[in-house]
A and B are shown apart, each in its own frame.
Chain A
Amino acid sequence: MALKHVNAVVVGAGAGGGIVAKELATAGLTVVLVERGRWYTAFDCRKDDLRNQRTTVLGNAFGPDEDRNPRVFVDEQGHEQRLKPSDGEYNNNAACVGGGTASYGAMAWRYLEKDFRMRSTYGAIAGSTLEDWPISYADLEPYYEKAEWEIGVSGDDSNNTFRSPRRRPLPMPPLPPNREYQVLKPAAERLGLHPFDIPMLRNSVPYNGRVACMRCRWCVGFACEVDAKNGTQNTVIPTALATGNCELRSECIVKEILTDSQGQVKGVAYFDSQSRLQEQTADLVVVSGSANESARLLLNSKSRLFPSGLGNRYDWVGRNLQGHAYTGAVGLFDFEVYDDLGPGAGIAICDFNHGNHGLAGEGLTSGGMLANEFIRLPYQFVGWRAPGVPRWGRAHKEYMRQWYRRSIGVMGPVQEMPVFESRVQVDPKVKDYWGIPVVRLSGHRHPNDQVVGKFLASKAEAWLKEAGAITTWTFLPGSGLSGGQHQAGTCRMGDDPRTSVVDKYCRVHDVDNLFVIDGSVHVTNGGFNPALTIMAIAYYASDQLVKSWKGTHGAS
């Protein structure tokens, strides 16, 4: 039986797709929102420190299914490996309604003005496809504001002298400081840095009909059982459904985007929750599956007019995969700094986001913010082993007892230089449970990322020392491909169809009723967690889409 024709199919109910569905449905378009994962409720959130989105030794809590969704990873030496979602190199992002926003740490960063003009700021960098965005911070500013107020952000960045201009303050005050914050803030000020309260997509006071954060120990990697963490699953998606114009179909796996003989898309083919193949026709299709899966879907949508996949006429789909090169330091103190107050992360600096020394002879380059880490759970702290401490035996146990409550981590995401060879392809052999070719990841980081990582780590170390740490050591990023929870870049936004995949309104260059609206369109990924920027782009692109909407073509 044919499914009823709708105005729009949105593929992926995460940070981007949830917002697009709500904006289109509110504007009166009929929408089907297709999501491969489940819709978890607060009752499903039995917090498990060995099975969540951050510690996956016993699997992922919020998908994708461990056995049905393999990927292939090719390392820097060219060795191929077939991976499960709980493997690190899989570069997973959650598969559920809300996507990553159901279980993220929920930092809510606006990128800086320079983050949109990286090429103009730093010039051409050898080995990188560094480019400016076709839009500016000013274009996105109203939509950042909309995301902050609609999804809900607490915090206070007024002391961040490096921030981009904002018209309106954040809707909620910051959570009260924890002990780490109180130790780190005066130290940063003594060093002449500019510490401030991290903006977070988390209720610090009752907001949007839901309660405030209860400050528990389990936050990043977990869903919130009191629903105080704000994602698309508890904000815009319920709003979209309440319009009566949007239907959510979860546990549905999109196989390909269908095209007609004129080169327009006409809908999607997907496997429903009983693995039956269905066809949903629509006037337009929005792909919001995040950088790995969005690229995979475009590449798997081959036809006579698009033999190498949709949007891929110039071989740019899947290119420039980037995440963040995380770097930082840990300090041990001779007094207790742990007070068991979640979420833990609370204080940050943006003093080193731009104008740092990169590769020798190449002048200045970008960096990233630095913030104190979320509360670490005991098993995670096992990995925070000071140099020279045995990993087992009496000394290990003594170390845990001595330092668990006397340690602080300061970490930050280095803004990566995009690399053309870091990419998503579809594997020629390996298929998933439904017979669809899977993501094949290959490539490496730009060498500059490690140089800047080392620099930023030294700044984190200096901050901890000033705060009184008696022992410090650094965590430095490796050279391998990066595209996990912060994955971005694979469907670059640009004005030139030969060097980008979508235009500045997220429309695929040569298919005018196909859109990509998620982190894939990021030209560069900022020195920040990308969620709020993905949300702002979704509001911005939806606004344009609704304005240019000329009505249905009707059922085919």
Chain B
Amino acid sequence: MVAAAAAGSSIGCAAGRSPWRFLSLDEARTLAAICDQIIPPDENPGAAWAGVVNYIDRQLSGPLRHLRNSYRQGIAAVDTSSRVLCGANFVALAEARQVELLGLMEQGRAPSEAWKQISSSEFFALLVDQTMQGFYGDPRHGGNRERTSWKMLGLPYPPIRGRLHYDVNTASVPVVGSKVK
């Protein structure tokens, strides 16, 4: 699921060349794994499937260009921390260990030698905020694939129905398909 999301860009690419605008293939894989712990798939899709990596990658070439260094250094530091604590890169860890490491980052307690340029709690706060933006924000920015979070919250579509409002069933919109665990 995670690897599929990371490689799931529609941009054609030769083997090994990153399909992303800013992120490398490895960075995108790590980021997808992190995002999928911040908003994990359950009966509804998670952040990776929803395109949060695409959202972040696109914004890093646009309005959030100033955060490029934070991401480059931060993602590398996640993997360094992961190797120090668990002997493997983040994507290779079991889910419980991934959650544990992110919890340490949130509290600023990740192995300090990895976090000299940006603090782990600062980077984690950035990741949480931008994962939320990509997951819950408008699909036009590259995330929230198929308005998946809006469906999850029971927001009817199309959103502007004017006076016909009460003709629409107000119960939660059911999720169809097999995109979930």
A residues near B (Cβ < 8 Å) are: 46, 48-51, 57-59, 66, 214-218, 336, 339-341, 377-379, 381-382, 391-394, 396-397, 400-401, 404-405
Contacts and interface: CB of A to CB of B under 8 A. Distances in A.
A404 B154 contact: yes
Given A59-B63, A378-B149, A340 B156 contact: yes
Nearest to B132: A382
Given A392-B39, A404-B153, A50 B162 contact: no
Given A59-B63, A400-B152, A49 B138 contact: yes
A391 B42 CA distance: 17
A50 B39 contact: no
Contacts of A215: 162-163, 165
A397 B50 CA distance: 14
A336 B154 CA distance: 11
Contacts of B141: 48, 50, 58
9 contacts: A48-B138, A50-B141, A59-B63, A216-B162, A217-B155, A340-B159, A378-B136, A397-B39, A401-B153
A214 B38 CA distance: 36
Contacts of A401: 44, 152-153
Interface of A is mostly: loop
Interface string B145-170: 00001101111100110110100001
A379 B38 contact: no
A69 to B, nearest CB: 15
A400 B150 CA distance: 11
Contacts of B73: none
B99 interface: yes
Contact of A214 (B102, B129, B162): B162
B170 A336 contact: yes
The interface centre, meaning the residue of A59, A381, A401, A405 with most chain B CB atoms within 10 A of its CB, is A401
Nearest to B159: A217
Interface of B: 37-40, 42, 44, 59, 62-64, 99, 102, 106, 128-129, 131-133, 136-138, 140-141, 149-150, 152-156, 159-160, 162-163, 165, 170, 172
A385 to B, nearest CB: 11
B153 A405 contact: yes
A394 B59 CA distance: 26
B137 A49 contact: yes
Given A51-B63, A382-B136, A397-B42, 15 more contacts: A49-B138, A50-B138, A214-B160, A215-B163, A216-B160, A216-B162, A339-B165, A340-B159, A340-B165, A377-B136, A378-B149, A378-B153, A379-B132, A393-B38, A400-B153
B165 A392 contact: no
A393 B105 CA distance: 14
A58 B63 contact: yes
Contacts of B133: 50, 57-58, 379
Contacts of A394: 40, 42
B155 to A, nearest CB: 7
B165 A379 contact: no
A58 B65 CA distance: 11
A405 B159 contact: no
Contacts of A341: 165
Nearest to B43: A401
B150 A378 contact: yes
A405 B154 contact: yes
Given A214-B162, A391-B128, A50 B137 contact: yes
Contacts of A57: 129, 133
B63 A340 contact: no
Contacts of B155: 217, 340, 378
